[in-house]
Structure 1
Amino acid sequence: MPNSSQLLDQCFDEVARQAKPLLGRCVEAAVASLQAAETKSSAVAERQRLAQACWGLTQRKGVLTDTYPARLREAFERGGDEGGRTSSLALLSDSSLLALVDDLSVSESLESARLLQDLMPVVEQALTALDARMSSLIGFETVQVEKNPLRPSVFVRVLRDLIAEFEREPEIRSLWLQHLASPLGRGLCQLYEQLALRLQQANVQEAGYRIRLVEDPQAGSGSGPTSARRDPWARDAQSFEPALTGRGDPYQTLPPMTALAGTQARLDHQVFHDFLADEGGRFEQALDSGYYDQLLREQRIAQAQADLPLLDEVVVDRERVQFRGLPVVDRPARAVSIGSQLGTDHWGAYAAPHERTRVLLDLKQQAERVSQAVGLDLVRKLVNQVARDPLLLAPVREAVVALEPALLRLAMDDPRFFAKDQHPARLLVEQVAQRSFRFNDEFSGEFEQFHAPVREAVNALNALPGATPEPFAVALEHLREDWASADQAEADAQTQHLQALHFAEARQELADQVAWEISLRPDVFNAPAAVLDFLYGSWSLVIAEAQLRHPDGGPDPLGYRALISDLLWSVRHEVTLHQPRKLIEMLPGLLQKLRAGLGMLDKPVEETQTFFDALIRYHEPVLALRRASARSQAGTSMPGALETPVVAFPETDNLAEAPRPRVADTPWLAARERVEAGFQDAPAAVATVVEDSAAAPLSTSSEEADEGTETAGVLASLHVGDWVDLQASGQWLRARLVWANARATLFLFTSRGGHPHTMTRRSCEKLIRQRGLRPLAVRPVVDAAIDAVVKGVPGAPAHACVVATDAVPA
């Protein structure tokens, strides 16, 4: 690992470099949100304030974005918050401190706290990965979240202080902070994932969480029957390390029961692991009064957030389609999480994140046991994990987020239902995700046909007053029925394509065997190379075709094997010159049968024209002799006075260079078979690159070998059933490998609708080198999410949301 201070400086430099465009995008989104709120507002005074805030933020965009990077760098070098500054969450959690400050300070502290609350659902997972590696970089063996110089509270405080310098009116500052929260969270999500990936690439290992459970501070207050005793988990504290974590400003360890009352899961992966393993009865303890008191505070905060204006639908839709013009493989993955605002036209009331949070808190209010509260947190954690999976198209991830209320209701009666492989709810999420891998374009009509029934099923499940497994099973069965008809049509088409390829492969195998048998004949000795090439190639295919078409006709159903003897005899000059009449009588039938066999094979004329030209040359001496004889007889009218003419014999072939039969790398396919199999050659662009390579600087042999090895490795990693993004006829298609021959030299892919795409190994390798064929690392989505939550392993690549650095994901 490089020098720690140097690597830390590189992280600071990267943040400073991205801070200006990041804040610029946030300001643009906030201005759009303020304009939308102004349009919706009916109160004149409120509209004036919103208009003033919008105008002021627009005017100060330049100075804010120019100043923000330097202020951040100063804060990082100080280690985050200034010494002696009372944090906003500390103000909010201590009533004695509230009495010592004025209303303005309280209001600003509330706004800072709300801003942090809005950020955390979006950045939580990315920040967790960064915390672990940043703590290790700084030199801690365990995670010290409060020591992370890049924690969200630093960004929020610097932004709040910077805004205060350029805007005097508290109400305007408050509006700015409210509307900057959502875009700032999305920007920080991308930034944190980039930094975590940078540290991972620098071999910075993750520090571990070792936070010990502490006793509930309300245990001795005597406020209720449950507060008169220690927390029931306290006696097993050692077995719960790592256990509970809480985030704030600064971060602090929270009592276990109160930690369960939050809208964000503060449990370490080991707790979720133990919970799903159902180890012991500790999770069946009753929730105490501290839990319910904290829950009331969380509900008040959630209600305050619900009163904030949502993004206008026009803004949401604009962010959704902003990269539509790019090729599907170049579009950055849109960020989706449990904190995302979805489209109301698709998801109704549950499109708003505060409505989904309200369902969570209402259910937590009904919870009586620790297992129910942990189960609710687990569902939210898993939903957020799936929502961030970049393998899934954004609308599919939005469907999982929208389904959260129905999944949460299931957790009340069965908190561990996600651990059951065959639970209908888990199967529904997994099979919808797997089905979606057939599509790579969320704007295509085919994807909309798939997604519309999924939306209907999600909305129907959310509309149910309660939640049992049966409705999920019914919804999945209806979706399967819709999918089955399309699958059958594709299966029938695929069977037809495979039959053509299987026949071609069987014909080639039999032709190779026939060619070998021909090579063992004694009369092939000293035969012309052109004739042997024809026999080992085209004519072996003709014989194989005839045998496969007429399996009951014996080894030579149409007499094409027998023709070999006549053909070889006809090109032996030492024999034909002494029996010219026999050759002349044989030739018409021989040529007719050759044409008939090649016609059955559907061989193009140009493929065998070279052979027939050579055959004429070999027969020409006898034909010339006959013409000379005819002229002589006509001139002398004396039969028997034949003068032997001088004829030119074709050059004798070098026996050392005589062709030998060889096994074909790929089966030969006729033109109609190539069309039927969807045969695809390497694209013209690839050929152009290869042809122009002579003008480019020559690469070393080792570089060429490495490139070839890498390409071969990618192709070797493909197995039947794997998905790829395939460029065909200028379009990017999602295709699946459905067949490869035994020699791995011919591959059949099928795209949506059962359209075939057959390619040779060489074409595949060219496409891979030119990025025209890109394998997709498909995996079980729910299993990956559970692994990430209960084992602490990444469920999705760390760079998933950083495909385009300057993109503003919806």
Structure 2
Amino acid sequence: MDITYRPGELRNPDSLDMEGTTSGSAAQDSPLHTSPPQKAAARPAEFHGIVKKVFEATEDWLLEQFSAIFADVDDTLFTMAEKAQSQADQDTVFADLRTLRMEKTRLVETVISQIRECFHRPQEPRSTIAAEEGPTGELSLVQDADLEQEVIVKSLVSNASRDLMTPIAELSLRLDSLLPGKVYDENLPIGPAILCERLIDSMQPLNISLKTRLVFLKKFEKQMMLKLGELYETCNSALVNAGVLPSLKNPHQRRQSPGSNTARANAAKALAKALGVSPDGDGQFQVPALPGFQAALAGMAGGAVQGAAGQGGAGQGGGFGFAPGLMPVGQGAPQLPTQNLLQFLGELQFQIPQMAQPEGQVLDINAVLTEQLVTAKRSASLGKLDNEVIRLVDMLFSFVLEDRNLADPIKAQLVRLQLPFLKIAVADKAFFAKAGHPARKLLNEVADAAIGWQLPEDYENDPLFKAVREVVETVIAEFNSDQQLFEKLLQEFRAYCAREKKRASMMERRTVEDIEARARLELGRKKVCTVIDAILKDRQLPDFVERMLNTEWRNLLLRTCLQQGTGSTAWRDRVAIARDLAWSVTAPMPQAAAQIAKLKESLLGRIKVELHTMSLKQGDKQQFLDQLEFFYVSRAEASKEDVVPRPVREVKPVPEAKDIEQLAEKATLKPTPEPRKVEVVDKYWQQTMHLKNSWFRLSLPEKPSVRCRLVAMIKDTDQFMFANRNGTKAAVYSRLEFAQALHDGILEPLENGPLFERALKYVVGNIGETELKIAV
């Protein structure tokens, strides 16, 4: 596709100038008409020359794709109307078809007009999944029908943004250097999000059914979203040829990655700045004095500390001749009261900046406490239980950092809860024995929601990550001692997860239903094929009869199988008719003449009734009946003229109808089990049926690993379907393939069970139950 201007089938060049004006009075009458955008005060009178060419190429491409979309939709709706089960359904489809035909020109013009406005003024995309503000200020879900449409749109945007990441980034940077507003991936005027939003806006006023809207979106995906790469290649090539950032290479490498050295350095600087210190050469920093804690230390141990300090000469050691700092338990240094420890932890919690470091880090509480004691020129020791609690919480959050169930940014957020959890545990030594504690339940809920989270490039703007970060930052900013905060956050986060699960389950259901429908269709074809083959095998039927059984009657049986099943009366009757028809035209004459004469009238009547259910033309139906009756008469006359009886030609009898039905029942799509060559696979073979809803890490050669859940086991085809957190299909395996993938490590099960309990089990196993009195 070149960059020159070519008027499209649906465009009126006079009504779509680059200044956003629309001519023609008829435009005011359409329900899809939108007022032309007003000029921005700072907008230049003309587009940059190359930008105008890029827009015109975009316009031509959009018109071409929309023409293909409407053509596909026309064909699909006609087919739906023909197959409609009732007159009302058919009328609805035809009404939708008529509406789309009447409004297609204005719909396309509206989309292109809005895209033009985005070239003039880049606009922020809205949230993909809409929510409405209720009267109480809480978010309420949109209607299920709208939600299903929004889920599909979200999937389209996500897939296109992922697959076309590099060309989108290149085009964004090039247009950013030309357009007056800031352009980036998300607000790219022809980016996936903007295109989908403008289409949905333009379709909103249309009075069409949800089914038709979904058909339109499916064609939109096929004809436009899956071909966006063509448009981006054309636009990027045109800009390169015009000298716009011609040497740009993989712009994502220019952007700061979460784990880069620069990002780590920036995180250390930000943390140091928030604490009012400068990091040393190793990137470490000294925590500034905590005033409240310093004041508490001043009165610690009363006069005994002061007296010991005086005896030590110039106050060296802060008490009993010890050097300043944290002394081991039992070494005779004054014990730091639990209340003072809690004050220290509280002040430290509010000093830590509310930011997510690229790599999470467990805070060394003892080291920070030592610094504070040295600054105050005091020495102290911790109580035995307090010391064990600090050690336990340190190990718990170290386990969180190593948990392979969670992505690094989520772990980095959860580790920030170390200080609030330590405060809880220090104040309540029975905390680790309280499985129902709201703080533990909140941590488990967040970790469970994030188990299937796949790390996106712009993860900081991901809805789940933002929800987790909000929970963590609220705890850090507001938690002092009131544990009701955790209960409140738990309920809010559960409500958020319920909304997300509903969207994901809707997508999963659609995906599973699609696979199951295909499986039912294939199984139905297998059963019908078995029936027809059994009837026709080794028999020479008249051409017109064989053609009828192999085409129209095969379709009739398939429809019966799918709609009513092979156990229905309709199925048995139609199989019997096919069997009787095949017998009646191949049975030896004149021996079977009497039987055929007796059967003929009822058989013709039964066939005539079934022909009325087929989509054949009336003339074709009558022609078949006439041919069949003529064939019967001709055979009967020919048999009477035989003076000398002919030898009876051996004709293989047609199987009984019940035998044919049994053959159909035995038909299956399940593959014949292959011999399992590796004995160890047997263990995984047995496990496959017990892993429903389990999470896995799927690692395929030369592809990034993905997290997926086993959401469905389809019995008809012996298939296991895996989906990601959004409900999109990730993989489908047969049972043997599933077992082999488990054996080979391609599918790696993630840990089951709540995060806090798994972490506690790990800690108990490392330090021994005898040492961990506080945990039982």
Range of TM-score over shorter length: 0.3 to 0.5
Higher relative contact order (CA 8 A, sep 6+): 1
